[in-house]
């Protein structure tokens, strides 16, 4: 099975960024652990701070991979373009968030990804990504 994790803006700063919300681990370290745990999977990874690059990657992998695990970060709440890109592809997308966005500011309660995602996982810290992988293994 071929999955890809796509992370949006500021997630390159995990470990340094607001650790009380997002934790102390860098994504690179966490990803190494994930790849060791799920050795049988192909687990690709892409991060960008640029909306158009995220849309380009969704289009690029959206007809070939078995699943996309997407944390669009702040663009979740603003990007009609990312929502449209998900609608345009055939690969299912699971939306993940590290924090429970529903417990945070009202503007984080809006998602352009949720209505077009296969499912949504939020609030389990970095383990939200483990759970998203598990969801693809169930299906």
Q: How far apart are CA 92 and CA 136, in angstroms?
A: 9
Residue 10 binding ligand DQA, by CB under 6 A: yes
**Which 78-137 residues touch ligand DQA, going by CB under 6 A?**
97-99, 101, 108
* 65 belongs to the catalytic site: no
The residue among 8, 13, 31 whose CA lies nearest residue 126 is: 31
CA 99-34-43 angle, 5° bins: 105
CB atoms within 10 A of CB 118: 16
Q: Known catalytic residue: 97? A: yes
Q: Which is nearer to ligand DQA, 108 or 118 (CB)?
A: 108
- The residue count of the chain comes to 139
CA–CA dist 35, 134 (Å, integer): 13
The residue annotated as part of the active site, out of 22, 30, 75, 129, is 22
Q: Does 74 contact ligand DQA by CB under 6 A?
A: yes
Which of 71, 79, 91, 111 is in the footprint of ligand DQA by CB under 6 A?
A: 71
Residue placing its CB nearer to ligand DQA in the complex, 103 or 139: 103
Give me the active site residues, please: 22, 97
Q: What does the binding site for ligand DQA look like in residue numbers (CB under 6 A)?
A: 10, 71, 73-74, 76, 97-99, 101, 108
């Amino acid at each position: 099975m071929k999955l890809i994790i796509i992370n949006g803006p500021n997630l390159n700063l995990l470990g340094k960024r607001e650790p009380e919300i997002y934790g102390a681990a860098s994504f690179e370290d966490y990803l190494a652990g994930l790849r060791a745990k799920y050795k049988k999977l192909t687990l690709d990874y892409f991060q960008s701070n640029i909306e158009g690059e995220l849309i380009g990657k969704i289009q690029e992998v959206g007809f070939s991979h078995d699943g996309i695990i997407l944390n669009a970060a702040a663009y979740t709440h603003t990007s009609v373009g990312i929502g449209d890109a998900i609608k345009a592809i055939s690969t299912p997308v699971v939306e993940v968030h590290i924090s429970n966005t529903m417990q945070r500011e009202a503007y984080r309660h809006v998602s352009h990804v949720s209505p077009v995602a296969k499912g949504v996982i939020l609030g389990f810290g970095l383990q939200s990504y483990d759970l998203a992988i598990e969801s693809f293994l169930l299906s």
